[in-house]
Chain A
Amino acid sequence: MISRILANAAEGEAAPNPLLPASYDLLWSSVVFVILLAFFWFKVLPNFKKTLDARTEAIEGRLEAAEKAQAEAAAKTANIEAEQAAARAEASQIREAARAEGAVILAELKEKASAEAARLTATAKAQIEAERQAALISLRAEVGTLAIDLASSVVGASLQNDKVASSVVDQFLADLEASDNKAGKKN
């Protein structure tokens, strides 16, 4: 049929039917199509796919690396923060300890001061007592001498009167005794 139409066409008797391909038309069409199909199939598309795959891989690899770097940075930040917190805690602990120590020292000093004060007071008291004792003793000695002087003078003047003299001496002795008793009681 095709050849008939071609023949007709060649003779110019009838227009060819555009729905029916000429043999050369089919042949060249097939040549073009097959060459390009093979070209795309075995040459263009495999290389294209390789390029795309390599790019996808590269992008994924880089994303992964970026994620890793980010995670590392986050870990580092966390570390630093933890260190900071630890340092802060340590500092406050040291401060606290120092404060406590200071309080202890202060208390100790206060105690020492009060002990010193008590000691000073006690020393002063003892000294005063000793001085009082010394004064008492020297006073008693002096009073004795004075009394003896007085007595000797009185005795010298009044020995003429025996009666009086004897009563004075008696009186004096009695007094002395009494004062002795007093002093002994005191001591």
Chain B
Amino acid sequence: MLFVATNTEESGGGFHAPSIMEFYPEIVAFEGTPFALNRIMLIRLLVLSLLVVVFALWTRKFQQANKANNFVPGKFQLMGEISLNFVRKSIAHDQLGEKDGDRFLPLLTTIFFVTLGMNITGIIPGLNIAGTSVIGLPIVMAAAAYVTFIYAGVKKHGGHFFTAALFPAGVPKAFYILVTPIELLSTFILRPVTLALRLTMNMIAGHLLLVLCFSATQFFLFNAEGAFKLFGAGTFVFGFAFTLFEILVAFLQAYVFTLLTTVYIQLALADEH
């Protein structure tokens, strides 16, 4: 509550510097319970509904096509196919092959479209903050990826998956003192942590940059005197450029998160374990 107060104070007067409090907006409902809702949670629910609506429409098109034995997709159906095929072909099939790719496709598709949908809200006017910019969602997805690649490895190689991962073949036994802790750290600890952190930090940094640019523009245009107003134009151009950049980052981070999950699964399935 206090931050909101300070925020309003700041925006009323001088320069509003971006802070970490951007990511902890006022709780609007169920305060104090695990069901507490703030702006970011509401944005997540909005993205959830949009994704469900869009993909439900596409699914209806698929069902209609299946029923009517229509093999030529229309424009709208084709858009859905291109989106789904991006994950299916360019990520899953390329890394895992068709069989394993299709096995893990639900997780990979979900991760990709959730990340993309949540990232893109960072530059949508009115929403202006990414659903992935607080760490809960990245942690949930990283945990899902973590569980999945361990499941894939154990399902395929049994307990041998862990020994093979921790005691890599071809290394002299004495080196295991050194290698095993490194492998443990990199495979079972750093992988999920970096997955979650990379995404969150990208979104936080992107949001702070945009806030900085646009609040500086606001400050220069309305609070600064004389020639300083011109700086406003400069910061606005920067803000615009970073907005475009954030679109790229939104796609890129969704792609990277999905691709790394796929690669981890692929490494777990690989035979030289």
Residue ranges of A at the interface with B (Cβ–Cβ < 8 Å): 9-10, 12, 15-16, 18-33, 35-37, 39-41, 43-45, 47-52, 54-55, 58-59
Q: Kindly state the separation between the CA atoms of A35 and B110 in the bound complex, as whole angstroms.
A: 10
How far in angstroms is the closest Cβ of chain B from A51? Answer: 4
* Interface pair A43/B59, CB less than 8 Å apart: yes
Selected contact of A55 from candidates B1, B23, B51, B71, CB within 8 Å: B71
Q: Kindly state the separation between the CA atoms of A24 and B135 in the bound complex, as whole angstroms.
A: 11
Q: Kindly state the separation between the CA atoms of A28 and B36 in the bound complex, as whole angstroms.
A: 9
Contacts of B2 in A (CB 8 A): 12
* Interface pair B113/A36, CB less than 8 Å apart: yes
Given contacts A15-B20, A32-B137, A59-B71, contact A47 B62 (CB under 8 A): yes
* Interface pair A44/B59, CB less than 8 Å apart: yes
Given contacts A16-B20, A33-B137, contact A24 B62 (CB under 8 A): no
Given contacts A12-B3, A15-B21, A16-B20, contact A26 B106 (CB under 8 A): no
Chain B residues 119-158 with CB under 8 Å of chain A are 131, 134-137, 139-141, 144
Q: Confirm or deny: B223 has a beta carbon within 8 angstroms of a beta carbon on chain A.
A: no
Q: Confirm or deny: B209 has a beta carbon within 8 angstroms of a beta carbon on chain A.
A: no
Q: Kindly state the separation between the CA atoms of A30 and B34 in the bound complex, as whole angstroms.
A: 12
* Interface pair A18/B41, CB less than 8 Å apart: no
Q: Kindly state the separation between the CA atoms of A33 and B45 in the bound complex, as whole angstroms.
A: 11
User: In this complex, what residue of B is CB-closest to A30?
Assistant: B140
* Interface pair A35/B52, CB less than 8 Å apart: yes
How far in angstroms is the closest Cβ of chain B from A109? Answer: 77
> Can you list 21 A-B pairs, Cβ within 8 angstroms, ordered by A?
A12-B2, A18-B20, A18-B200, A23-B34, A24-B33, A24-B37, A24-B38, A27-B136, A28-B45, A29-B137, A32-B48, A32-B131, A36-B48, A40-B110, A44-B59, A45-B84, A45-B105, A45-B106, A47-B66, A51-B81, A59-B71
Residue interface bits B25-68, CB-to-A below 8 A is 1, else 0: 00000100111111011001101100110011011001101100
* Interface pair B52/A18, CB less than 8 Å apart: no
How far in angstroms is the closest Cβ of chain B from A71? Answer: 24
Q: Confirm or deny: B94 has a beta carbon within 8 angstroms of a beta carbon on chain A.
A: no
* Interface pair B34/A27, CB less than 8 Å apart: yes
Selected contact of B110 from candidates A23, A25, A36, CB within 8 Å: A36
* Interface pair A21/B139, CB less than 8 Å apart: yes
* Interface pair B109/A45, CB less than 8 Å apart: yes
Q: Confirm or deny: B102 has a beta carbon within 8 angstroms of a beta carbon on chain A.
A: yes
Contacts of B23 in A (CB 8 A): 18
Contacts of A16 in B (CB 8 A): 20, 24
User: In this complex, what residue of A is CB-closest to B41?
Assistant: A28
How far in angstroms is the closest Cβ of chain B from A44? Answer: 5
User: In this complex, what residue of A is CB-closest to B140?
Assistant: A29
Q: Kindly state the separation between the CA atoms of A114 and B64 in the bound complex, as whole angstroms.
A: 96
Given contacts A12-B3, A40-B110, contact A24 B36 (CB under 8 A): yes
Q: Kindly state the separation between the CA atoms of A9 and B21 in the bound complex, as whole angstroms.
A: 9
User: In this complex, what residue of B is CB-closest to A27?
Assistant: B34
Q: Kindly state the separation between the CA atoms of A50 and B47 in the bound complex, as whole angstroms.
A: 27
Q: Confirm or deny: B96 has a beta carbon within 8 angstroms of a beta carbon on chain A.
A: no
Q: Confirm or deny: B233 has a beta carbon within 8 angstroms of a beta carbon on chain A.
A: no
* Interface pair A36/B114, CB less than 8 Å apart: yes
Given contacts A21-B134, A32-B45, A54-B71, contact A26 B105 (CB under 8 A): no
Q: Kindly state the separation between the CA atoms of A16 and B1 in the bound complex, as whole angstroms.
A: 14
Given contacts A36-B48, A48-B81, A51-B66, contact A15 B106 (CB under 8 A): no
How far in angstroms is the closest Cβ of chain B from A42? Answer: 8
Contacts of B19 in A (CB 8 A): 15
* Interface pair A41/B106, CB less than 8 Å apart: yes
* Interface pair B3/A28, CB less than 8 Å apart: no
* Interface pair B52/A36, CB less than 8 Å apart: yes
* Interface pair A18/B135, CB less than 8 Å apart: yes
Q: Kindly state the separation between the CA atoms of A36 and B80 in the bound complex, as whole angstroms.
A: 16
Contacts of A52 in B (CB 8 A): 81
How far in angstroms is the closest Cβ of chain B from A21? Answer: 4
